[in-house]
Structure 1
Amino acid sequence: MTTLHNRYLTSWNRIDDPSTGDYHFKMDVDGLPEFFLWDKQAINYRSGPWNGLRFSGVPEMNATYNITFTLVLEKDEVSYSFGLKDKSLNSRVTMSSLGVLQRYTWIGSSQNSNLYWYSPKDQCDNYMECGVYGICDINASPICKCIRGFEPKDLQAWKMRNGFSGCVRTSELTCHGDGFWQLKNVKPPETSTVVFNRSMSLSECRQACLRNCSCTAYANSDIREGGCGCVMWRGVLDMRQFTAGEGGQDPYVRVFAPDLIRYVELVSLISSLPHFIEFRGINFLCLLDTTLYNIGIRLRKKCHLGSPFLRTPCHRIDNNYLLIRFNKR
């Protein structure tokens, strides 16, 4: 897109009707550039922001043998293009009449057209599947989880596997007593309202976020060569968990500092103890999220459910903990 000129993909009305359909795939340039797939006035999918190498929510854009990707981000031009190193190949991106973005490649040697990539491809590609401050993980069950320091806004809907209402903080921020929790390998939040600076370091970005009470998260804007630049969010929307091999980024989300301290203390405690908890003769198995794996602890102590030993009630140690009750022996 150059000034006063914006080009984007639109779908056909039907497979046999080339008139303009309901879907279009369009770059948003209000913050860090990223693409949105629209169904009329509703967002179906977003690509994640450009991170210097690719759009961070599209693992298929990881370095490939044949296809190169380029984003121009200048004062009077924002444009995206791709190229092919092997001139015997051809590639095209289309928007189907059903609202599916598809990349096809033509392989000259076999005279075949191959579907190389498409989106949305699963439930976690749906826009806002797990709401604000929620993360969608297609390899988990249920697929929605809250960031540490948050809990489901509508617990009943959450239990019914409807995460659209998202998550809310368990403790309010104080602005001057906050910390950051680092997420790993996620599609960063939506960037249409972010502030970014391409010359700041990550430590400078952290300090700038701490000084701004409305800043809720920060990260490098460019992941090349160890990372550079700064992007700061004022809201955390529509994140997805990837595996380490798929990529994603590692943003830092603002949380109440004592919540971080309690979590670190609890991790240290759990790591130093055996395998089960026993309260009033009732055994519990403490299942932790994938950050801590499945570790249990056993305390042969008589204590009430609000035990100061664990600092929080035994029945809900943390958002990401589940206590499963077993029968007495």
Structure 2
Amino acid sequence: MARTRTYNNVVLLYSNIMIFFIPFVISLRSLTPDKSIHYNDYLVSETGKFEAGFTNIENSQNIYFCVWYKNLNPRTIVWVANRDTPLQNSTGIFKLTDTGNPVIVDGSENTIWFSNASTIVENPFLLLLDTGNIVVRNGSLNDVWWQSFDYPGDTLLPGMILRTNRINGAHNALTSWKNSGDPARGEFSYYIDSNGFPQLFISKGSVLVYRLGSWNGFFFSGVPWETLYSYFKFSFELTEKQVQFKYEPLNDTIVSRYLITPTGFVQRYIWLYQTETWQLFLAGPGDQCDNYNICGVNSDCNTGNTEICKCLIGFTPKSSNDTDGCVRKVKLDCDDRDRFVTYTKMKLPDTSSSWFDEKMSLVECEKQCRKNCSCIAYASLDIKNGGSGCITWFNNIIDMRTGSSSGQEIYIRVAASELGSSTNNRKKKMIAGILVGIGVLFLSITTVGYVIFLKRKKLQNSGRSTTINHEDNMNHEKESIDISTFDFSTIANATDNFSSINKLGEGGYGPVYKVT
């Protein structure tokens, strides 16, 4: 009996030891100031789509508080709170202060990270939404006092808004990681530039490297958008004070993320349930012409050409270097004599120095452009439903390219002489051809008449004229003589104004026409 009691005590002691070493995991739906999240604790969204907690990244020993997709493997992180201030061990705590400020402290209660929430919340309540957004609310109210979506990392999730203040230029942005294992802020930023007509840019520090283009009613003009509309709906809102952009999936089964990589590329992924992998859906920059302003001013970049940089009509290379851009051959007339050359399927030029009007028609847009001699080009602002609105460019255009499947028409201003000289030459050549043709026709008719006349005369001299009725001969001679007396209007009418339909051919003297 004693032996059995001893055995049971040993088993009980062993069990207690094992329980002591099993980590105790807590999953919370919400967080209040009286609760906190430690290492191996998790905050879970309502349907379990997203999860938040402390984790390390790849082989790094640093600890970060992150948001990731709960049921997707490998773990895909979409937001990092303390990306620039990692914890060195697993003693960190994520909590909510009494005033509603989310913070991270280490084991010594030193603040590692805190939100910049400036509003004091009386009854703060934090939770993780099924969108991946961490929000702070006032009790059960739906008003959001702070949210992680206002401070994006490298990933733009559905419902997350990119916005820029048009008054002071303040904006949020996607910022790349330093590398795949370090979420600290990298070199590249993705944001909306609100100068002129707003457009999306990627910059490396202060240097612009890729311009996705301006909004054209469907998407940004430098990005193929047709396939995107099969999966997403996009929203672009422009007011006097602010511009903002976001996207949503067309249905809840579509899981997607859009991010900027440590090397400065933007990539859109869709989750494939069949293979349980992320499929790359779209990426940019796509080719050499996507590099910002690679060809210089007043030029067109086209990867389909042997030389990808080509001056616009009316312009000539500034130097032997293709990237130096182009200058005008002839100054503008600055009046109604100026003409506009149409370019189609274009990624519109940089709009940061443009002027625009959302209500003006395209005809009014051209008139508006003509009023200002520095206006170099114009286009429709919105290409939906046949086009609407007006956008104009001044002095020089920058970063335009051919071959964009989502591109549109743009009208480039040139001096009348640039187009008129070639037009006048064509008219002169046509008139010369007509005159030569008339001369050839007149000479042919005269020659035929003269040959007939000689033949008749020869017959008379040989005594064979007795077989020919004298009266008929006189009539024939009269007819043959009359042939050579057609005036220009008669010939023009007979050839239907020298219509190409009546053209028989063309020789060294010009075209020959048949008479109808």
TM range (shorter): 0.7 to 0.9
Percent identical among aligned pairs is: 36
> Is the contact between residue 60 and residue 117 of structure 1 (CA under 8 Å) also seen in structure 2?
no
In 2, Cα distance between equivalents of 1:127 and 1:32: 17
1:64, distance to aligned residue in structure 2 (A): 2.9
Equivalent residue letter for 2:409: D
Alignment of 1:2-17 (within 5 A): 3=165, 6-17=171-182
Alignment of 1:1-329 (within 5 A): 1=163, 3=165, 6-60=171-225, 64-154=229-319, 156-157=320-321, 163-176=322-335, 177-234=337-394, 235-242=396-403, 246-265=405-424
CA RMSD of aligned residues (A): 2.4
> Is the contact between residue 369 and residue 377 of structure 2 (CA under 8 Å) also seen in structure 1?
yes
Equivalent residue letter for 1:94: L
Equivalent residue letter for 2:331: E
Deviations 1:279-301 (A, max 9, x none): xxxxxxxxxxxxxxxxxxxx979
Deviations 1:166-193 (A, max 9, x none): 1111111121232111111111110011
1:265, distance to aligned residue in structure 2 (A): 5.0
Unmatched 5+ stretches in structure 1 = 158-162, 273-298, 302-329
How has the CA–CA distance of structure 1 residues 139 and 267 changed in structure 2, closer, same or farther, with 3 Å as cutoff? farther
Q: Which residue of 2 aligns with 1:318?
A: none
How has the CA–CA distance of structure 1 residues 169 and 202 changed in structure 2, closer, same or farther, with 3 Å as cutoff? same
How has the CA–CA distance of structure 1 residues 30 and 138 changed in structure 2, closer, same or farther, with 3 Å as cutoff? same
> Is the contact between residue 295 and residue 323 of structure 2 (CA under 8 Å) also seen in structure 1?
yes
Deviations 1:177-235 (A, max 9, x none): 32111111111110011110011100000001001111111111011111110001112
173-182 or 22-31: which moved more? Answer: 173-182
Deviations 1:50-101 (A, max 9, x none): 0111101111455531122210111233111111113111111111111111
In 2, Cα distance between equivalents of 1:166 and 1:208: 26
> Is the contact between residue 55 and residue 61 of structure 1 (CA under 8 Å) also seen in structure 2?
no
How has the CA–CA distance of structure 1 residues 199 and 61 changed in structure 2, closer, same or farther, with 3 Å as cutoff? same
Equivalent residue letter for 1:239: M
Aligned residue pairs total 268
In 2, Cα distance between equivalents of 1:211 and 1:29: 25
Unmatched 5+ stretches in structure 2 = 1-162, 432-506, 510-516
> Is the contact between residue 356 and residue 391 of structure 2 (CA under 8 Å) also seen in structure 1?
yes
> Is the contact between residue 225 and residue 406 of structure 2 (CA under 8 Å) also seen in structure 1?
no
How has the CA–CA distance of structure 1 residues 142 and 83 changed in structure 2, closer, same or farther, with 3 Å as cutoff? same
Report SS of the residue matched to 1:247: coil
Equivalent residue letter for 2:402: Q
In 1, Cα distance between equivalents of 2:281 and 2:311: 32
Report SS of the residue matched to 2:202: strand
Equivalent residue letter for 1:116: F
1:270, distance to aligned residue in structure 2 (A): 9.6
> Is the contact between residue 54 and residue 61 of structure 1 (CA under 8 Å) also seen in structure 2?
no
259-268 or 109-118: which moved more? Answer: 259-268
Query: Looking at CA atoms only, which structure, 1 or 2, has the larger radius of gyration?
Result: 2
Deviations 1:254-293 (A, max 9, x none): 1111112234456789999xxxxxxxxxxxxxxxxxxxxx
Report SS of the residue matched to 1:251: strand
Higher relative contact order (CA 8 A, sep 6+): 1
How has the CA–CA distance of structure 1 residues 186 and 271 changed in structure 2, closer, same or farther, with 3 Å as cutoff? farther
